Amino acid sequence: MITLDNVSKSFGRTVAVDEVSFTVDRGEVVGFLGPNGAGKSTTMRLITNFLEPDDGAVLIDGVDVREDPVGARRRIGYLPENNPLYDDMLVAEYLRFVGDLRGVGMDGPGSALDDTVQATGIAEVFYRPIGELSKGYKQRLGLAAAILHRPDFLILDEPTEGLDPNQRQEIRRLIREVGKEHTVILSTHVLPEVEETCRRIIVIHEGKIVADGSTENLMAQARDTSTKRTIVVEVRGADVAREVVKLPNVEEVTDESESEGRTRLTLAVGSGPDPRPRDREPAGPVQPADAVGGQVMRNIWTIARKELRTYFDHPTAYILLVVFLALNFFFFFFFLGGVFLTGNASLRSMFDLLPWILLFFIPAVTMGTLAEERRRGTLEVTLSHPLRESQFLLGKYAGSLLFLYIALAGTLLAPLTLSIGGRLDMGVVLAQYIGTAFLMAGMAAVGLFASALTRNQITAFIIATAVIFALMMAGTEGLQMGLPAWLGGAVGELGIMPHFGNVARGVIDLRDVVYFVA
């Protein structure tokens, strides 16, 4: 079961979720109802551990989701608000991506993939790009991705929002179907939606739970104009009515029955706080430990592969590659010290100027990595799968590095040409390329960091370029002029150019390697 124990979450001065407690049992289909801004999405993000509570805890079978986030993610399927999806992927590719992260069977009839595609009725759009799907099909796909691994708990945030009446009916039918096997928590601000699909309703208003009960009762109450409520409680022991009626806000005991050492009371309760105590759930068995090493590497590789594919799905990536190579070859052949001007068989001119090209090339490659995920909201879906944030970041980093190394590999044409016409020192060339690989890895880390700071790619590009430029300038003598010697030296050590200067000459120094790795 899922238990929220006195959970609160604020954003600045807005209290989005205010001491919320409830428990959802296995097999329940619960409607989480409230007006816009009531705190529904925030509650769902707390359950999926996308957000952490300021106070209180979210427990799955008694285990705090913060203690075992990956274990919790394994058991939850999540469809966030607005159903963020990677529009440039095919439906098939996307489901395979999710399946890889989930470690579920994907091949053949009867596999998890096959079952899910049949259940959600998306077979006919299986090879279509997600961006071209109708809203109804996108919603089915979002649902398919959330139930692919047969989760114990399904969290759906406004799953029918923005759909036309027919599509709404279709999705509600699907949810009812799914609800036969799974525990479902579904948020909505549309009352009829829960009436049709849920057996229990929890109402949230201004961050507080204001009602929690069977759909039937609450609907009846909603039609009742009086503010009084009727609740049924079970109390251990006999002859307890006299005490219970003294509790604050209890007006009357209207019915009493005893069985197996428990007394069932029906209480008339005035408006105001609920007299029922909030019970902490006993701790359940701890979930199995985090995935073994193999799954960790598989997760990183799944993310990296997707990242790399995203580059090659966009024409911009090809343009970037061409510009990068064209500039390099221009510098190599024609710039001061270039082959045609000096007649020397050396890559020196290319490598001397490479950092200046990378200054723009690397931020352009990395700017979207995290900013786009945040802007589109896909970060929230991907992080609801059982992988750690660190694996996600490493995957993103590896993906963009692979792209950068493919670009670097393109420049190998230069030494190849030279080795035909002249005698090239291959040891020097090797050192230059290895050193450059380190430089690129360092710069890409700065780019990824900048991309993590914002939802806007252009802002990320500007930040990354500015930081890398500052690092390039830090090593120049101009900047150190006027500084005390010790400070000038320290600033100089931060600079990229002195470290890369060795690389450009074909010298690998451990100090330079340490610098780039750092």
Residues that bind ligand ADP (CB under 6 A): 11, 14, 16, 34, 36-42
Smallest distance from ligand ADP to CB 269, Å: 26
Complex with ligand ADP: residue 157 or 352, whichever CB lies closer: 157
Q: What residues contact residue 338 under an 8 Å CB cut-off, 6+ apart?
A: 331, 332, 349
Complex with ligand ADP: residue 36 or 271, whichever CB lies closer: 36
Expressed in angstroms, the distance from the first to the final Cα of the chain is 44
Contact between residue 88 and residue 130 where contact means Cβ atoms under 8 Å apart: yes
Complex with ligand ADP: residue 51 or 291, whichever CB lies closer: 51
Contact between residue 120 and residue 144 where contact means Cβ atoms under 8 Å apart: yes
Contact between residue 240 and residue 265 where contact means Cβ atoms under 8 Å apart: yes
Complex with ligand ADP: residue 47 or 89, whichever CB lies closer: 47
Structure tokens at 331: 């510098």
Q: How far apart are CA 413 and CA 333, in angstroms?
A: 12
Return the residue matching tokens 């109708």.
134
Structure tokens at 471: 């690092």
DSSP state letter for 278:
-
Smallest distance from ligand ADP to CB 331, Å: 46
Beta-strand ranges (E) seen in 217-343 are 229-236, 250-259, 262-269
Contact between residue 19 and residue 42 where contact means Cβ atoms under 8 Å apart: no
Q: How far apart are CA 458 and CA 4, in angstroms?
A: 39
User: If 0-12 CB within 10 Å is exposed, 13-18 middle and 19+ buried, where does residue 301 land?
Assistant: middle
Complex with ligand ADP: residue 218 or 265, whichever CB lies closer: 218
Return the residue matching tokens 């998890």.
112
Pairing of strands 183-188, 29-33: parallel
Smallest distance from ligand ADP to CB 45, Å: 8
Smallest distance from ligand ADP to CB 125, Å: 29
Smallest distance from ligand ADP to CB 142, Å: 17
Smallest distance from ligand ADP to CB 23, Å: 20
Q: How far apart are CA 508 and CA 432, in angstroms?
A: 8
Pinpoint the alpha helices (H) of 51-155. 69-75, 91-102, 112-120, 135-147
Smallest distance from ligand ADP to CB 495, Å: 38
Complex with ligand ADP: residue 81 or 313, whichever CB lies closer: 81
Complex with ligand ADP: residue 267 or 371, whichever CB lies closer: 371
Structure tokens at 433: 């390329």
Smallest distance from ligand ADP to CB 334, Å: 52
Complex with ligand ADP: residue 161 or 170, whichever CB lies closer: 161
Smallest distance from ligand ADP to CB 164, Å: 21
Complex with ligand ADP: residue 21 or 230, whichever CB lies closer: 21
Complex with ligand ADP: residue 42 or 197, whichever CB lies closer: 42
Beta-strand ranges (E) seen in 274-393 are none
Q: How far apart are CA 136 and CA 138, in angstroms?
A: 5
Smallest distance from ligand ADP to CB 427, Å: 54
Residue type (1 letter), 398: A
In Å, what is the CA distance from 146 to each residue of 152, 288, 370? 11, 21, 22
